[in-house]
Structure formats: C-alpha cells, structure tokens
Structure 1
Amino acid sequence: MRVNPNYTPGLLAALATTQKEEQKALQEMSSGRRVNVPSDDPTAAAVLVGNHSRADQADQFLRSLSGIQAELQTADSTLNSVVLALQRAITLGVQGANGTLSSANRASLVGELQGLQQQLVSLANTTFQGSFIFAGTESRTQPFVADATQPSGVRYDGNTGVNSVAVGDGFNVQVNIPGSQLFMAAGGGVFQSINVLIVALQNDTGMDIAVAGVRQAFDQVTAQRVFYGNVLNQLTSQQTFLNNSKLALNEQENQIGGADLAAAASRLVNAENARNAALAAAGRISGSSLFDYLK
C-alpha cells in the first residue's frame, strides 16, 4: 500500500522557501549587489534606473567635453603662433622704418614678410579632425584663399556662424569664433595689415602707419584669443562637476543597491540550517509514519 503523509505540501513549501533564500543570498554575495532584478526591491530598482540614465548622460557630456577641449586647445595654440608671427612682422616693420636701409635689405624684409603672410594663411586654415576650425559653421570649407583682387590679398569663404555644444543639462557653450572676426576685422585685420606693410616697405613710404596697422591686428587677435582661454576654463569646471556627479551617483547606487556581504552570508547559513532541519524532521516523521503503518 502507498504511503501519502499529509505533511508533504508543507514540507515542500518550506524547502522551496529555504532554497529561494539560499539562492538570493548566494547571488548577493557573488554580485556584491542587493538589487539584481526589479523584484528584489521595486522602489530601489526604479531609483537605480534613473541614476543609470543620469550617469550615461554625464558620460555623453564628458565625451563631448573631451573632444571640444582638444579642438579649443588646437585653436588656442594656433592663435599663439599667429601672435608670434605678428610680433615678428612688427619687428620687421620697425627695422624697415630705418631710413638708412638699402634696397636689398628692404627686399629681404619683404621676402620674410611674404613668408609670414603665407604662414598666417596656413594657420588660419588649421583643421581639427578634418574640420576647419576658423570657418564659422562652414567647417568643411577652406575659409581663407589667396585672392589678388582683395585688398588683403586673401578671400574669406567661411561664414560668421558660431557653434554651440551641450556640455550639461541646459548648459551650452560657444566653441568657436568665425575666422572673419579673428583675421579680417573692420579697419584692416591680419592679412591686410601685413599686405600694407609689404607695400610700404617696397615703396619705402608710410612705414609708421603700416606698423601701427600690424600692431592693431596683433591687439585684435590677442583680445579674441582670451575667448578660448575662458571657454577652456568653463569646460574644466564642468568636467569636474560631471565627474563629481558620477561619483555621487555611484555612491548612492552602492547605498541603495549594494549588498551587505556579512548579512548575506548570515542569511545563507540560516537558510542552509533551516533546510537541513526541515529535511531531518521530514526523515523522522516519514520513518515513524511508515513504522506505524507497518505495525
């Protein structure tokens, strides 16, 4: 005759409970997390999902920041080279203003100035990752082209647009100055001032005015260059803010979803003890019931 004791459903339920507790404790200990699936703690899981979204957004902003910083540093370095070239042009102009210079000496100065003009055009056409950084928003178009029909000897094919990039929630920064504003300011500009100085040297007249024009271009570029330093400082501060925000989110995640390993180990031991006790009790009851039946 088959033995079917009525304690079986309760025993199976108890064993299932202890097994579930063991599995959860083991999962927490192996993952280091208390909340591994939403059902572990729906409220905490919802907070963690939101935190993950904010952390991902911060990572996106940080990637944008990194690229922008590199481009701005390239622009600032380029303008430093422009300033040095203009300083050299001023020095040559002062030398050329010496009325005792021979025609050969003036021709030598003219040759160097023409070389500086070519260098300045090349600097104004600087690219970063294939994009022209002084072309306004026409970053795929070479902005400065030699053109003898222009007073400056150079034509600007870019535009006056500026680029803004999001580097935070509701925080956009302007990241460029159009080349026309940097190199072709009203009243002269970099290329025209060098051109005027070359003509003055060739004609041996008007040197003081020509040198003053180069000084004005030098001052203009120096003043505009401050923009890049200011934006770089802003980006550095924002980078620090975003990194600190990520650290705070990670800390909150550990507080909300992190496992207490000591507590998990204790629960595992308790669950194992409960399982063993249930199995032992089941063995005793089963043996007694069968013995009673056989009598």
Structure 2
Amino acid sequence: MRVTQSMLSNNMLRNLTNSYNNMGTYMDQLTTGKKINRPSDDPVIAVKGMDYRSQLVEVEQFKRNTNEVHNWMDNSDDALDQATKALQRLRELAVQASNDTYDLEERHKVMEEVKQLKTHLIDIGNTKVNGKYIFNGTNTDVKPIDGGYPTNTTDVNIEVSNGIKIKVNVDADEVFGEEAFANVDSFITALENGDQGEIEKSIALLDENINNVLNARADLGARMNRLELIEHRLGSQEISATEMMSNNEDIDYEKVITQLITQESVHRAALSAGSRIIQPSLLDFLR
C-alpha cells in the first residue's frame, strides 16, 4: 500500500488528539480526585458508587433513628428515676406515720405532703417530650393521666438497623396505672383516718410500686445497652461503606500524576517525531 503525505498527517493528527484526550482525562481526575466524572466514563464504577451511597444514606437514617430512640429512652429513664425518688419518700413517710407516737394532727400533716407527692407522680406520668406523651403507648397525643390512667400499652418500635426494631417506650400501666395510684390513695385514706394498721399495710403496697418502677428501669436499661451495641455496629458499617466507596471512586494521586507525566513525555515525543517525518512535499518546492 502506498503511503501518502496526507495519510501521515491524518494519522499524526488522530494520534495527537488521542494523546490530548488522555492528558485531559488525567487532568480531570487530578482536579476532582475521582476516577470518573460521568457514568459513561465507567458504568461499573458508577453503579457500584450508587450502591455504596445508598448504603451510607441508609446508615445515616438509622443513626438519626437512634437519636430519636435515645430521646425516648433517656427521658423515660429520667422520669422513672424521679418516680423512684418520690415513691421512696412516700415509703419513708409511711414508716414515720406508722409510729405510735404520731397523733392524728401529725398524720394529717404527713397526708398533705403525700398528696403533693401524688400530684408529682401524676406530672411525671404526663411527661411530654417534643410534643409527645411518652407514657401512653402509641397514643402520644393523648394525656395519659387526665381523669383516668394510661390505657394504651402498645409498643412504640423504631427501626435502628436493617430489619431490627427496638421498643422505645415503657409499659406505663405497671408504673402509673390505676393500681399504682390506688396504693397511694389507700395510704392517704389511712392517714386521714389515723388508722395505724392501714398505714403499716401501705408500706408493703408502696414497696410493690417501687419494685414495679425498678423492674421497668431494668428492662429499659437492657434495651439501652442493646442500642449502644447497634450504634457501634452502625459506625462500623459507615466506615466500611465509606472505605469501599473511596476505593471504588477515588484516584491514587501518585499513580495518576505518574501517568500524566508519562503521557506528556509521549506527547512531546510524538510532536517531535511528527515534525521530522512529515517532510515538505514536491508541491511545496513548485510554489
């Protein structure tokens, strides 16, 4: 096949264009720090990147969910702690009032404090956080102790990991239910009547209330410990997904810089060789 001057020129121009494209690709990679700048550059890397990003978005949502769970559990635990202190104070008063040396007037004074503690327990049972009543199951917009007692014991579950949900609320029926306040009312009635025998019985009833609160706190504490383990797992998943996404998309700067320098050298050599190979033709001498 006869090689003409135009063939040499066209081949050189085509190869120089490819060389410019290669240098442009390396420059884009160095500027963005990414292997690709559009899906068409490498569909496989693009699809994997979308998958890793989806994993990160999912983990971030679960982490936001765990914050909501903490909000429920921390406030519930604080409220139960206050309820425990109030019940312990009621028990102390019951022990004091059961003393033979207390007369009716003194027991009436104790009764006034007991009534205030009962009101305090009602306020705790009506704890509201971010516009939600946390001791009324899924009826978070209904005041639990308002002429009645908590009746909704449905679990409030929040998903904290793929397929894993945690109960965030406390079964308020045992802690702030009708029976719990009936025990306090019995104590108030015994104080009002000055009935020492009933006052002594109230000590055991208040002990039952305290035990119910402690059991609720123990159950809540176990779930809080589990949440910490799940949070640790989410942190590991986030680190893993971020690392895989980086390995998939981010460039190796040393490698790309080396490739760019090599390509520049090749380009310069091509320009130099091309200027020598493409010699003046006969037509140039006939002008």
TM > 0.5: yes
Q: Is the 8 A contact 1:32 1:259 kept in 2?
A: yes
2:68 paired with 1:75? no
Contact 2:174-2:213 within 8 A present in 1 as well: no
1:237 aligns with 2:225: no
Q: Which residue of 1 aligns with 2:85?
A: 84
Separation in 1 of the partners of 2:72 and 2:153? 18
Residues 171-186 of structure 1: matches in 2 within 5 Å?
Answer: 171-184=164-177
In 1: Cα distance, 2:83 partner to 2:45 partner: 56
- State the partner residue of 1:201: 191
SS in 1 for 2:158: strand
1:259 to 232, 251, 254: 251
Map 1:107-186 → 2, pairs under 5 A: 107-145=108-146, 147=147, 155-156=148-149, 158-184=151-177
Question: Separation in 2 of the partners of 1:26 and 1:67?
Answer: 45
Q: Is the 8 A contact 2:150 2:176 kept in 1?
A: no
**Local SS of the residue matching 1:289:** coil
Q: Which amino acid aligns with 1:231?
A: R
Please tell me the residue identity of whatever aligns with 2:199. M
- CA shift for structure 1 position 278: 2.7
**Amino acid in the other structure paired with 2:268:** N
Q: How far did residue 13 of structure 1 move? A: 1.7
Alignment RMSD, CA only?
2.0
Q: Secondary structure at the match of 1:165?
A: strand
2:177 partner amino acid: M
Contact 1:65–1:167 under 8 Å retained in 2? yes
Is the 8 Å Cα contact of residues 65 and 235 (structure 1) preserved in structure 2? yes
Q: CA deviation at 1:70?
A: 1.9
Asked if 2 retains the 8 angstrom alpha-carbon contact of 1:21 and 1:267, the reply is no
Is 2:268 the partner of 1:276? Answer: yes
Quote the sequence identity (%). 24
Aligned residues: 281
Structure 1 residue 248: deviation in Å?
Answer: 1.0
Is the CA contact 1:55–1:246 (under 8 Å) kept in the aligned structure 2?
yes
1:189-237: per-residue Cα shift (whole Å, max 9, x none)? 1x11111111111111111111211111111111111121111111111
Q: In the aligned structure 2, how far is the partner of 1:202 from the partner of 1:73? A: 37
Cα distance in 1 between the residues matched to 2:243 and 2:282: 60
Structure 2 segments unaligned to the other structure (5+ residues): none
Which 5+ residue runs of structure 1 have no aligned equivalent?
148-154
**Alignment-mate amino acid for residue 284 of structure 2:** Y
Cα-to-partner distance string for 1:97-133 (whole Å, 9 max, x where unaligned):
0121123311211111000000000000001111000
- Measure the CA separation in 2 of the matches of 1:134 and 1:263: 60
Distance in 1, Cα, partners of 2:245 & 2:37: 12
